[in-house]
Each structure stands twice: as structure tokens, then as C-alpha cells.
Amino acid sequence: MHIVQLSDLHATPLGTACYRVAETNMLLERAVSAVLALDPAPDCVLISGDLTDLGQADEYVAALAALQRLPMPVYAIPGNHDTREEFRVAFSSAAFYPEHDIFVHYAIETHMVRIIALDTTIPDSHAGELCDERLDWFETKLAEDPDRPTLVMMHHPPFDCGIGFMDAIALLDGRERFAEIVQANAQIERVVCGHHHRPIQARFAGTLAQIAPATGHQVALDLTPEPRAQFVMEPPAFLIHRYAPETGIVTHQA
């Protein structure tokens, strides 16, 4: 099974550059074209948040115009630049439409790898959290199929990466219990995230947690004690997660 992970699309109204610099809509079109050219074609595409820059309806129109070119299933979650209300409207006809009336979380049961998507967003905040209600749901879902290989998708990373201004808005509340749940469920092959606009990996709670780069601009690599918040136009990229029973998930950056 091949799973493509796109992240941090930051779609903007047509004709508008993100931060007046990054042509994120054009770069998203390029990413979609690159996915369409993959051989073998992926079984599905994950989008780990920040589909839009400001969570506006016209930005979702721009994002969907590109994503609708993909013939395979697309599963998305909101990020801190999205709004749940507009996200729900944009994806109201999607097969993954969320089970919960508040949080955008769901489980996909139709592939070789089970996919559990978690909503880590906080309205009007760039940081993330997993409250007890979301974690209860997550724990219950895992218990329903404890022997099946599972990939968990979320926007905010549950670990510090050393880029201080990004760590300050990572998953803050609920991190400890989330780690306990992951540690207790050996079927979790990977925790995949977005948000940081860089390819970053860490051993986490007995598995691997992995951050995807962005399809547009990247966050500058600055591991100094007080890094300055800035982005750079490094080459955009996405991840391909390949699953086989004999190897588990092996990830490539494209």
C-alpha cells in the first residue's frame, strides 16, 4: 500500500500570494501533478492540516480545485490556519466526513492500513491540544481493532523539535496521555503530522512520529536558543509511506 502525505498547503484566494511571497496555489498544483505522475499510483492521499492560509471559503475553493484532480481517496484534517466550520462545508460530501459534531476526527477502515485522523486544533490559537473527549474517542477507536496496522494523522506534532517558536505552538495540552495511549497500542505503525513545514522525525512512545514538509514554503532551520520566526523557499516536498506486512511502513520524501 502506498500513502501520499501532503501538508500545509496554505491555499489563498486566487491571484494572491501567501505572505505576498509564496505562490502556494501554484505550488499545490505542482504537488498534485507530481502525485498524479507517481508509479505505482498511491492508494490514498492524506493532508495533515493547513489546507488554507486564513480558513476562508474562497481559499477552500482554491484548494479543492487542485485536489479534485486526484482520482484516489483524499483524507484531510484541519490545522491551525483552517476553521472547522469552513472545513466542514468544503468537505461535506467527502467520504471521510467527520463522525463528531464538533471535532474533525474519524477512522478509515477500507485500506490495508487503518487510518485514524485526530483534530488537534484550538479555535483562535496556533497551538494544539487533545482534550479528554478527543483522547477518549481515540482510545476507544484503537480498542476496536487492536491487531490491525494503524497510521495516526494529526496536525500538531506531539514532540519538541528544537525550533523554539514552533515548539511553542506544537501539541501542548494532552501530550502525556496521548503518548500513554500510543505506547499501549503496538499496532500504531506511525504518527504523521504537519505544522512545522520541515521534514522531522522522532522516536515517540514506542513508534515513529514524523512531520511532513510543506507543499509551499518551509520554516527556516534554526536550532539556536532563540530562533527568529521566518520561512524560506526551499524546495517543496511531500512524503510517500509504503506499507508491506514484512517491513511495516517505510517512508520516502519526494
Helix (H) or strand (E) holding 219: strand 218-219
Phi, psi (deg, nearest 5) at residue 174: 90, 0
Which cell is 143 given? 480498542
Range list of H helices, the chain:
24-36, 57-67, 84-90, 132-144, 164-167, 175-183
The whole model's pTM is what?
Answer: 0.96
Contact criterion met (CB below 8 Å) for 129 and 172: yes
Full pLDDT tens readout for the chain, 254 residues: 999 999 999 999 988 888 888 999 999 999 999 999 999 999 999 999 999 999 999 999 999 999 999 999 999 999 999 999 999 999 998 888 877 789 999 999 999 999 999 999 999 999 999 999 999 999 999 999 999 999 999 999 999 999 999 999 999 999 999 999 999 999 999 999 999 999 999 999 999 999 999 999 999 999 999 999 999 999 999 999 999 999 999 999 99
